[in-house]
Structure 1
Amino acid sequence: MNPTPQPDGQVRSDICGPRPGLPDPRALARWEEALLCLRVFDTAPIIFAVFDRGLRYRAVNQAAARASGLSAEEMIGGYGPEVLPGIDPLGWERPRRVLATGEAILDEEIIGATPADPSNPRIWRASYYPLHDSTGARIAVGVTAVDVTDERRAQAERDLVLRRLRLLSRASGLLGASLDLSATLREMVTLVVPEFADACELYLADEPCPPGAEPDPPLLRRAVWAHSPDLPRPSPDLPLPPPDTRSNLTGRQVGRVFLTRQPVRLDLDERLPDAPDAPDAPASSVAALFRHSHLRSAIIVPLLVGPHCLGTVGFAVTAARPYREQDTQTATELGSRIATAIANAHAFDHQRTAALTLQRALLPRDIPTLDDLDLAWRYQPGTSGTEVGGDWFDVIPLPAGRVALVIGDVMGRGLNAAAAMGQLRTAARTLARLDLPPAALLTELDAVTRSIDTIASVAYVIQDPATSTLTVANGGHLPPALRHPDGTADLLDDPHGIILGVTEQTFTETRHRFPPGSTLALYTDGLVESPTVDIGEGCRRLLRILTETADLPTTADRLLTLLNRNDGNDGYDDDVTLLLAHARRGRCGRFRGR
């Protein structure tokens, strides 16, 4: 059996009792155990402390004294919050809760500064547990704590590195998300603020600056100024330069970074008194803005694409999270991605402008005046940020008062599509002047399409006023829509061939009545299809408008509203081409287009 200690200090056992006149060996063992426990308490590498019900220190070990920067004598008997006032108040609420409830609290973190290092707060993981007397009454609370500051800081560093890597990954993903410069810059700024900066400012040069060039003076356009919503809003009285204004940045940090192509990290507390060195212009307004926004640290990096500098981007933060040296590398990487996005947008814009100029030059400008048809047409390129496609239409007079109406769409975008469109339009006009039937013309045009290694959809229609008919051949294009004189409308969805340029094929043609009062609509897919509206729904909308409106210009304008061009989710991402032909007799036809 195990010996059982008694309140009088004796130990009774069923086996034997103490011998008269000799020390009880089991009592000596208990003293040795008690001394050992005291040594463990005092020399343990973790903090041990005991507080009475008034939160006064009753016992501390050497680790607790070292962590506090005080001696055990200075701590014993002292009121905890007064002995260590730099500890988070929550650290003192927990022992009170333990004393009140009798329930232990395990592994909770507290933060605070002690006299050992008052300027460097530490983090401890602490446990609190109740201590009872022999009657079971709660008389004190024991606390054990382990300093986890270095562990938490290392974890914070790892988390910061991961956040920065994710930030750079998302920035890389934006490079191809949009080719519209304004949209790209908005997305980049939204990504950077407030993840990496509380404020962001971007300057662009009118032209890329080659290596060795030193513009005098360096004039840059302030393209972006964005700040976190948590910062104070700038005062209306603050004389800030308006967006897109050009500033002479001679002698200022932005100008220096632009000319030297080297990043710089700034302590704004030191720079703000020297207004000319603040990363903005004019200096006085920038100094006032930075003080007003409590910005205290900044990094400015050049926007480099190869050897050329496109401008600069500056990032600034408040004193709550000042930039460190390693943040300069992150800022430089962000600047590189922003510069690449800007260069891509500029290159795309140049190509899109060239393709759009070519395409518009190839579209018919001198539509003939016709005796029996009123015409209206509309052409709109895809929204900014998309490449120009290969849409075209044509109106070609034929012998005996007949008219050929053509609409086509070359697959692909950009200069290649526009150039292929020009070749096919020229071929179609040449073949039409041979007065070939529609099916035969498409067969020949299919051979031309294959010879220039492209594919296209084409609808070719001959209107004959003598018979009031339309003869239609369709090579994979959307079906023409016909509004009848009684106001009803339907699609001429006859069997037709596949798109031109795929394989050698023979086309068929169909004939439809086209009496006075009828309206024919030829269109490309950009009119009736978007990422959220399928072709079937778009065609139903087209027929509805045709039945509701008889006036040709009004009909053309309304058809352009089939899809909401200003809605980012339902907007056009393709060119739109529309040709309307309305049959009239006894008067000269009219032409309306744009």
Structure 2
Amino acid sequence: MGATDRFQGDPGSSAVAPSDPGGLLDVLNVAAVLLNAEGRIDLWSPQAEILFGYSAEEALGKYAGHLLIDKEHLDTVLALFSQVMDDGESWAGVFPVRRKDGSTRVVEFRNMRLQDDQREYWALGLATDRTTLRRVERNLALSAQLVSQAPIGLAMLDTDLRYISVNPAEERMNGVPAAEHVGRHVREVLPLIDAAFEGAMREVLATGTPIVDQYTVGRTPADPDHDHAWSISFYRLESSDGRVLGVATSSVDVTDRHRAVEEQRRTALTLQRSLLPHPPAQRPGLEVAFRYRPAQATIEIGGDWFDVIPLAGDKTALVVGDVMGSGVTAAATMGQLRTATRTLADLDLPPARVLHHLDHITDGLDTIATCVYAVFDPRTERCDLSVAGHLPPVLLRPDGRRELLDLPTGAPLGGCGISFESTSVDFERGDQLVLYTDGLVETRDQPIDARLNALLDVLDDPHRSLDATCDLLLHTLRHSGERDDVALLIARAGPGPAGRGEGQGQSGRPRTAAR
């Protein structure tokens, strides 16, 4: 380790380490000049050469006053020098200095008397450019005011995620005095905060990529009995030479908005659940299971619905639909469409005609919705289906064969005026029909074809109970934090009317194979 290496030590630490350039002393470029009792220059720092323009060889041994001061100011400077040397009181002030090139520079001085082991006096002068010093002072004052008066919480943490400083707004948010932040790990100060808070800071430290407006929920010592919410941004702190110093956070308290959104979510969810059917009575020749799962994101409760509607002649209508949008409006629109669907179902219309009428009704509601409407007749062991812009149902046979039904997709409900088509398929004992909304299969990072294939892969056991199949589909396909709700309805054909042959329809025809 060379003798010219610079060192810096942390308080309470016995270790030393080289400092890096770019610190405050480097910015100020403080010059040091040592004068003997006669005013001659005895020591001349490299910074003095930069500030005044004279090399050490040119300056050493010269009278400082004659070298650096114009005649008009010389008497004043000599009087100040005598005062410092006689009284031993330091002097600080500003006066113009003549540089080697003849120009004048206003310099901020600090002068003090020193005494050596021979009891002789010396004068130490520390000097820096006044303009530079004022700029640094102004920037520091402005930074301090911005930090202290900012209405958002600001904090700086080191690379071990221990607090270095917090501003008053952060202090109030956390309910912990600023002095009790400093030196403590974030988990010590905020033990009830979401774990994602610490994870985000570690990610920013590792990558250097800022994270902006991360929604964080948790509790603080300021209010340990209630959840609060913040929009927090994280960015890495680096020195001028790129050395990682830590991470900074800026926090905006959005608790009021969070609570309002949560209340809206509860209202929409309550409304939606009140509009969805209760477990339907057992239908002739049909076993049914269903699930509804709300969006796990805060405000994304939507308009997904399902229904099981008794019809004349032991028939049953099976419906799954999805209203575009979210919140109370979508839930209310869903309720209107469900009511309209039940009213139309009582007319015993073909599925395509039901969707035709729903299309006109949806146009009047100024919204868009998708829907699949199916009618099962246990007497004929047939199922008639029609689709309005909805994902295809799955048909699962007792021998394990399964397929996405190739049905005319149609257009979403909402006044497009496009006609719908009905398709009839065999639906005999043991056959299952799986109806679902897009929240079950759609993701942001996978194509829909891959997700539909994943749906078919899960349906690998036709003898599994319908409730178990519903739970397995949700567990396997639906990821945590999904921003869309899910409606899922599975129907399995049971025994038909007495006297029918196994594996044959009422007319004795062979059943249609799955495609």
Q: TM range, normalised to the smaller chain?
A: 0.5 to 0.7
Q: Distance in 2 between matches of 1:413 and 1:395?
A: 23
Q: Provide the alpha-carbon RMSD of the alignment.
A: 4.8
Corresponding position of 2:500? none
Q: 1:399: how far off?
A: 1.9
Q: 1:163: how far off?
A: 8.9
Q: Distance in 1 between matches of 2:138 and 2:422?
A: 76
Q: Distance in 1 between matches of 2:362 and 2:432?
A: 30
Q: Distance in 2 between matches of 1:493 and 1:556?
A: 22
Q: Distance in 1 between matches of 2:113 and 2:487?
A: 75
Contact 1:472 1:509 in 2 (8 A): yes
Q: Give the TM-score normalised by structure 2.
A: 0.57
For residues 180-259 of structure 1, the aligned pairs below 5 Å read 197=167, 200-201=170-171, 231-233=183-185
Q: Distance in 2 between matches of 1:395 and 1:224?
A: 56
Give the aligned residue type for 1:151: R
- 1:577 equivalent to 2:487? Answer yes
String of CA shifts for 1:42-70, please: whole Å, max 9, x gaps: xx9953565469xx95346449799xx99
Contact 2:386 2:407 in 1 (8 A): no
Structure 2, unaligned stretches of length 5 or more? 1-48, 83-89, 91-107, 115-124, 158-162, 194-220, 231-249, 498-515
Corresponding position of 2:61? 58
Give the aligned residue type for 1:580: I
Q: 1:585: how far off?
A: 1.6
Q: 1:223: how far off?
A: 8.1
Q: Distance in 2 between matches of 1:563 and 1:195?
A: 45
Q: Distance in 2 between matches of 1:468 and 1:394?
A: 20
Contact 2:165 2:181 in 1 (8 A): no
Contact 2:429 2:496 in 1 (8 A): no
Corresponding position of 1:445? 358
Contact 1:198 1:228 in 2 (8 A): no
Contact 1:49 1:59 in 2 (8 A): no
Corresponding position of 2:393? 480
Q: 1:530: how far off?
A: 2.4
Q: 1:388: how far off?
A: 1.2
- 1:361 equivalent to 2:274? Answer yes
Secondary structure at 2:411 match in 1: coil
- 1:553 equivalent to 2:463? Answer no
Corresponding position of 1:148? 132
Q: 1:466: how far off?
A: 2.2
Q: Distance in 1 between matches of 2:476 and 2:373?
A: 24
Structure 1, unaligned stretches of length 5 or more? 1-43, 76-83, 85-111, 126-145, 172-187, 204-221, 245-279, 283-309, 313-333, 588-594
Give the aligned residue type for 1:573: R
Corresponding position of 1:352? 265
Corresponding position of 1:21? none
Q: Distance in 2 between matches of 1:585 and 1:241?
A: 61
Identity of aligned residues (%): 35
String of CA shifts for 1:488-530, please: whole Å, max 9, x gaps: 2211131132011132232111111222222111111111112
String of CA shifts for 1:188-218, please: whole Å, max 9, x gaps: 7889987864993556xxxxxxxxxxxxxxx
- 1:541 equivalent to 2:511? Answer no
Contact 1:439 1:507 in 2 (8 A): yes
Corresponding position of 1:35? none
Q: Distance in 1 between matches of 2:366 and 2:186?
A: 58
Contact 1:49 1:64 in 2 (8 A): no
Corresponding position of 1:256? none
Q: Distance in 1 between matches of 2:478 and 2:139?
A: 49
Q: Give the TM-score normalised by structure 1.
A: 0.50
Corresponding position of 1:470? 383
Match of 2:294 among 371, 375, 381: 381
Q: Distance in 2 between matches of 1:507 and 1:556?
A: 29
Contact 1:541 1:562 in 2 (8 A): no
Q: 1:407: how far off?
A: 0.6
Secondary structure at 2:291 match in 1: strand
- 1:493 equivalent to 2:406? Answer yes
Corresponding position of 2:431? 518
Contact 1:474 1:497 in 2 (8 A): yes
- 1:565 equivalent to 2:479? Answer yes
Q: How many residues align?
A: 355
Contact 1:199 1:226 in 2 (8 A): no
String of CA shifts for 1:352-386, please: whole Å, max 9, x gaps: 11111110000001411123222111111111422
- 1:47 equivalent to 2:52? Answer yes
Secondary structure at 1:561 match in 2: helix
Contact 1:50 1:60 in 2 (8 A): no
Q: Distance in 1 between matches of 2:179 and 2:283?
A: 60
Cα pair distance change 1:116/1:428, threshold 3 Å:
farther
